Amino acid sequence: MNINKIQSKSIINKSNIPFSDLCINPYVGCMHSCKYCYAMYMAGYTDHSFEKWGSFVDIKENSIDLLKDYLKKNNLKGNIVIGSVTDAYQPIEKKEKITRQILEILLKEQRQLSIFNDDFKISIITKNELILRDIDLLKQFNNINIFISICTDDDKIAKIIEPLASSPTKRIKTLSILKENNIKCGALISPYLPFITDYDKLFSLLYDKIDFIFSEPINIDGSIKHFVLDMYENYLHINNILNTINDKKYWLNINKQFDSLCSKYKLTKLKNKRLEYI
């Protein structure tokens, strides 16, 4: 693993995730190494054009100074997502504690702002149980949603396609603990992977531990297509997957199944392509 410390130009940026206005990414790259990762394009935007996704992480070591500077000049407003193109709780966070320090600063800001308004919200997207380390902080936010991303209940398959993320069993346990602590949380079945994702199984395991649920199909836009095909053919030994991925009828049925399971378990469904605050 190529791990570097870098001086970043910014820590809060405009977000391109629909439900959010701003994003915070404490790292560049992600050790979880998901073979379908939508954020792989980031390698090309940084100094890692020729490196394999999952083989490098840049630690933004000036994150805290940047955030303090930002807050001197700007009031926090809107929805802020932590971890839009990285996982803020990937294994390196255990030692670096950058995400934890970011939460401490945001919490301090919330306390100061709340005299006037509390018009900002935090979302965290993760596949790592390490988020539980910060439960003392998470509990203190007025508006926070934790999204645990999970596309299979099978620990063995997850080990192949998301090698360094926490196992699905641990992620489901994480949701239980968050729920016990009254922290609003949801599951992102994202992406839905044909022949791998089992909605029936996932819903039955998740329904009593979450407040909301979201799902979206596997993305094969642009260069990601090559990596998705590689995952199916060389790691999962499933061929001709494009026939299924490109089959509109297939997805209509998958959507119907999702809707009917949401009704069966009385779960709030986040609207297609959008994650909205409940």
Residue 171 C-beta-side C-alpha neighbours within 13 Å: 31
In angstroms, the Cα distances linking 41 to 89, 90, 137, 188 are 20, 18, 32, 21
Q: How far apart are CA 263 and CA 221, in angstroms?
A: 31
Candidate segments 33-41, 166-174, 206-214, 230-238, binder of ligand SF4 by CB under 6 A = 33-41
Q: Which stretch binds ligand SF4 (CB under 6 A): 26-34, 97-105, 168-176, 262-270?
A: 26-34
How far, in Å, CA of 208 to CA of 78, rounded?
Answer: 29
Query: Please, what is the minimum distance in Å from the beta carbon of residue 269 to ligand SF4?
Result: 21
Looking up tokens 């940026």, which residue turns up? 13
Query: In the set 22, 24, 28, 30, which binds ligand SF4 (CB under 6 A)?
Result: 30
* 37 lines the binding site for ligand SF4 (CB under 6 A): yes
Instruction: Report the site for ligand SF4 in 119-138 (rule: CB under 6 A).
Output: 127
CA–CA separation, 18 and 20 (whole Å): 6
CB count within 10 Å of CB 170 equals: 15
Please say which residue, 70 or 227, places its beta carbon nearer to ligand SF4: 227
How near is the Cβ of 145 to ligand SF4 at its closest, in Å? 17
Query: For ligand SF4, which stretch binds (CB under 6 A), given 27-35, 111-119, 138-146, 196-204?
Result: 27-35
Contact 218, 193 (CB under 8 A): yes
Instruction: Tell me: does residue 32 bind ligand SF4 (CB under 6 A).
Output: yes
Which residues bind to ligand SF4, rule: CB under 6 A?
30, 32-34, 37, 39, 86-87, 127, 162, 165
